[in-house]
Amino acid sequence: KKSFRVVVLPGDGIGPEVVGEAVRVLEVISAASQDVEIKLEPHDFGGCAIDSTGEPLPPSTLKACQEADAILMGSIGGPKWGVNSKVRPEQGLLALRKALGLYANIRPANFASDSLLANSPLKPSVAEGVNIIVVRELIGGVYFGARQELGAGTDADTAWDTMIYSVPEVQRITRVAGQIALQANPPLPIHSIDKANVLASSRLWRKVVTETLQAEYPQLALDHHFVDSASMFIVASPKKLNGVILTENLFGDILSDESSVIPGSLGLLPSASLAGAPSVADATSPDFKPTAGLYEPIHGSAPDIAGRGIANPVGTILSAAMLLRYSLGLEKYAQAIEGAVRKALDTKTTGGFELRTADLGGSVSTKELGDKIVEILKSSL
């Protein structure tokens, strides 16, 4: 049996609730499989780690992450460690992404099930057929540029952040977008999003994206949008942006939350943060190269609903599927999870009943939805 080590970082707020369901899913696969074993190893991270150790990313957690085959995270943060705290959970997440070199954040915004069309706030005619994958640069830009806090430095009533990109940083994320686009059949168009009418870093972005794709992926269609109008198209006519949305760190953060409106809820979307392009080879082929990665839903710790057992676990469960696909090379099991989620949400499977958590207008609990997904998954293995 091939054995994999997966570090689990439940984190804060609804993190432990949604991770609990994804862990059950991975345990089902590990137990059912003849050929693989998945060893899950929980560690403190985020606000709970600040409480127990004084820092959001304790050295023991970082070390475990560096040695693991993959990391599954819930969410971190909350009012207890708010924006005015000196030590904040979010600093731990940024430090972890940076330490592991996870520059490529992949956030598909597709329908986990066609039945969700009925739950989208968008009209079915607008939402139907949307197929968007956001590829967000994750360890550059204004998140990591030089910064001065209010009250520091010589000009004490000033605070600033720097949006900075280098040519190689944009080249490497462009290549990831190119690979993702080519993995689809037919290949997906690339929509690069920037603010090149104002920002120097965006003019660099647009130039490097254009040159890199022309030189290395000439077969891919490419267009450019300014981030203001793109944010309008995402909810007004999202099919215009079908394909790969390629963008920098802050724009990608904002646009990916916005894109979750299409399938209906922030709680539905998974993500993979990778240190390179995921392998284009089929997972069963000898060419398959696993990519180290951190997998997490795109949402936060949802303090407004934490502790009530009503959070939507689908984004985290689908993140576990991405983990199996990209870091462990277990495509078959990734598809089994995605299939189980699709069926659980499909009103044909449930005799017309909409198995929905509160974010989608239902009254099903986190665990009830997890139970159904686990039940369907077990019967499919």
Question: Is 222 within 8 Å of 135 (Cβ atoms)?
Answer: no
Q: Select the binding partner of residue 375 from Mn ion, ligand NAD, ligand IPM, none (C-beta < 5 to 8 A, by kind).
A: none
Minimum CB–partner distance for residue 20 and Mn ion (Å): 22
Give the count of alpha carbons within 13 A of 78, CB side only: 23
Minimum CB–partner distance for residue 49 and ligand NAD (Å): 13
Minimum CB–partner distance for residue 30 and ligand NAD (Å): 24
- Token pair, residue 19, equals 């991770």
Q: Tell how far CA 189 is from the center of its chain.
A: 20
Q: Each residue of 41-80: b (16+ CB within 10 Å) or e?
A: ebbbbbbbbbeeeebbbbeebbebbeebbbbbbbbbbbee
Active site residue 304: no
Question: Is 237 within 8 Å of 129 (Cβ atoms)?
Answer: no
* Gap between the Cα atoms of 26 and 377, Å rounded: 10
* Gap between the Cα atoms of 87 and 81, Å rounded: 7
Placement of tokens 């992450």 in the chain: 65
Binding of ligand IPM by 93 (CB under 6 A): yes
Only one of the segments 7-15, 56-64, 249-257, 303-311 lies at the binding site for Mn ion (rule: CB under 5 A); that segment is 249-257
Write out the binding residues for Mn ion, residues 158-217 only, by CB under 5 A. Answer: none
- Binding-residue pattern over the window 122 to 151 for ligand IPM, x denoting contact by CB under 6 A: ------------------------------
Catalytic residue among 228, 282, 289, 348: 228
Q: Select the binding partner of residue 303 from ligand NAD, Mn ion, ligand IPM, none (C-beta < 5 to 8 A, by kind).
A: ligand NAD
Three-state DSSP state, 133 = strand
Concatenated DSSP letters for 30-71?
HHH-SSEEEEEEE---THHHHHHHSSSS-HHHHHHHHHSSEE
Of 33 and 365, nearer to ligand NAD (C-beta) is: 365
Active site residue 289: no
Minimum CB–partner distance for residue 367 and ligand IPM (Å): 25
Of 10 and 300, nearer to Mn ion (C-beta) is: 300
Binding of Mn ion by 253 (CB under 5 A): yes
Of 255 and 302, nearer to ligand NAD (C-beta) is: 302
Write out the binding residues for ligand IPM, residues 279-318 only, by CB under 6 A. Answer: 298
Catalytic residue among 80, 161, 257, 332: 257
| Binding residue for ligand IPM, selected from 5, 53, 80, 90, defined by CB under 6 A | 90
Only one of the segments 19-27, 87-95, 212-220, 329-337 lies at the binding site for ligand IPM (rule: CB under 6 A); that segment is 87-95
- Token pair, residue 149, equals 């806090």
By DSSP bridging, strand 2-11 and strand 36-42 are parallel
Nearest alpha carbon to residue 122 among 5, 289, 248, 234: 234
* Gap between the Cα atoms of 273 and 138, Å rounded: 8
- Token pair, residue 239, equals 């099919």
Binding of ligand IPM by 173 (CB under 6 A): no
Task: Kindly list the residues in this chain that would bind ligand NAD in the complex (CB under 6 A).
Answer: 14, 18, 75-78, 90, 93, 266-267, 296, 299-305, 311-312, 315, 359
* Gap between the Cα atoms of 318 and 110, Å rounded: 11
Active site residue 195: yes
Q: Select the binding partner of residue 267 from ligand NAD, ligand IPM, Mn ion, none (C-beta < 5 to 8 A, by kind).
A: ligand NAD
Binding of ligand IPM by 14 (CB under 6 A): no
Q: Select the binding partner of residue 141 from ligand IPM, ligand NAD, Mn ion, none (C-beta < 5 to 8 A, by kind).
A: none
| Binding residue for ligand IPM, selected from 137, 169, 253, 359, defined by CB under 6 A | 253
Minimum CB–partner distance for residue 254 and Mn ion (Å): 8
Round to the nearest angstrom and report the end-to-end CA distance of the chain.
17
Residues 6+ apart with CB under 8 A from 120: 127, 261, 262, 263, 264
Name the residues that contact Mn ion, by CB under 5 A: 253
Name the residues that contact ligand IPM, by CB under 6 A: 77, 90, 93-94, 253, 298
Question: What is the set of active-site residues?
Answer: 143, 195, 228, 253, 257
